[in-house]
Amino acid sequence: MSINIAIDGPSGAGKSTIAKMLARKMEYVYVDTGALYRSIALYMIRNGVDMQNSAEVAEKLSGVDIRLAYENGSQQVILCGENVSELIRTPEISMGASKVSAIPEVRSFLLDLQKDIAQKNNIIMDGRDIGTVVLPNADVKIFLTASAEKRAERRYKELHEKGDPSTYEEVLADINRRDYNDTHRETAPLKKAEGAVEIDTSELTLEQSAQAIAEAIEKRLKLKSAEKKQEPSARREMLDFSGIRPVTDPKKYSRVKLFFYTILRAIVTLVYKIKFKFVIVGKENIVQTGSVVIASNHRTDRDPIWGSLAVRTPCSYMAKEELFKGPKPFVALIKFMGAFPVERGSGDTGVIGTSIEKLQIGRNLMIFPEGTRSKDGKLGKGKTGVALIAALAQVPVVPMAICFKGEKPKFRQKIIIAYGKAIRPDELKISSSDLRQLKEVKKKIMGSIAELVDENVNKL
């Protein structure tokens, strides 16, 4: 499993320089997320796009191709086939990066790239929202800061050495503008992540700053290692399931709510059938009385909606915790649709209890055991959480597969939604939260999903 270290902080705090030093010393991959936003800013400037116009920026993203290459341990940024590593380090590009980074479509565009790198490598990643949004479960979180005057002094010296004519006053003004923009933007504003170690480098040299961060990282990693070495029985004692009971007598879902949901489902189904060619397979396998777990592979953000098109009773879904920190109208909408927050990897019994409560009131529960989306359609290993919920709730589990070609579905593309035969509760019973038993249940559920995927991808 990869180790992720997140370093956040304001512009000019020394994040990139120190992160590079530490990555080289620790033999980790260094990911400069700021370079990604700078590259988009450069692309927009070159194409005459008004970066104050978020709709225009979002429209142009389809033409952006960014890759990160590593040469002798150094990150190189390739924009549309051109190495722009040096071209993106100017004040004009800095301000442009601050503007485009406030646009939700831009952040979403780059998020998958950043997460993919983090999953595959031991990395040190720096930016503005790494510990809060990009890598909320990072092994170590650092918040690096310094006074605006000290940061401006460092940036001015750096630019002066490169022959840039900017004055100290201009650099300080730029720093203050970026600080304001970064901390006041609506999407993923700059702030210290929960559990992050704050280090002020105003009075520290570069070497002293790097040493302070290295010590903080070493301390946190040692603590993590000690926690992982706990005996399985000790870890199980931390999970108290004594108050969780099976769903023995679920309520019937409100007829009034069901009536309005049916109308909403019909409208949404019509919209998606116009946009895509939907083929729904195995409708007869859906338990239409409610209070079932629907376990599916994960391809897109729209999976919860697509998977519900043929299901008469509303579904509830687990959603990553950071979504509930967004704009209030959006939060209200996803709550209305049945979403509830979960912190990935937390092992929180409260989430399990909430899941079973949703089943008890008559709603279905849709779960994506892989946890993250698959870009190529191949089924991942899955996590034991789905097994634990299904086994404790003692309700049927309906396997589901969402199949289409490519990474993202295109207009009028064929999409198959397939439902498999329900797995009975008596096939899922476990005597404890023993990891071996949970893995067996998970294996049964993931195996059913895999069969559906294999069976239907050949029909595309």
237-457 folds as Glycerol-3-phosphate (1)-acyltransferase (3.40.1130)
Q: What is the pLDDT of residues 322-332, one digit of tens each?
A: 777 777 877 77
Where are the domains positioned within the chain?
Answer: 4-229, 237-457
Taking phi first (over 0 means left), then psi (-120 to 50 degrees means alpha), and beta for anything else, what does residue 227 get? alpha
Residue 422 DSSP symbol: P
- Least reliable range by pLDDT among 38-42, 277-281, 355-359: 355-359
Q: What is the pLDDT of residues 105-127, one digit of tens each?
A: 998 888 877 888 888 888 999 98
- Please give the full DSSP string across 245-285, using - where no structure is assigned: ---SSPPPPPHHHHHHHHHHHHHHHHHHHHHSEEEEE-GGG
Cβ proximity of 318 and 324 under 8 Å: no
What mean pLDDT do residues 224-247 have?
58
Residue-level pLDDT at 430: 60
Domain boundaries 4-229, corresponding CATH code: 3.40.50.300
Residue 31, number of CB atoms within 10 A of its CB: 28
The SS3 assignment for 319 reads strand
Q: Please give the Cα distance from 127 to 31 (Å, whole number).
A: 9
Nearest in space to 142 (alpha carbons), one of 154, 130, 150: 130
Unique residue bearing structure tokens 């038993």: 437
Nearest in space to 358 (alpha carbons), one of 382, 387, 393: 393
Nearest in space to 350 (alpha carbons), one of 239, 235, 194, 227: 239
Q: Both tokens of residue 338?
A: 């049945």
Unique residue bearing structure tokens 């480098």: 201
Q: What is the pLDDT of residues 17-75, one digit of tens each?
A: 899 899 888 888 888 888 899 999 999 999 999 999 999 999 999 999 988 777 765 77
**Percent of the chain with pLDDT strictly greater than 70:** 92
Alpha carbon 214 to its chain centroid, in Å, reads 26
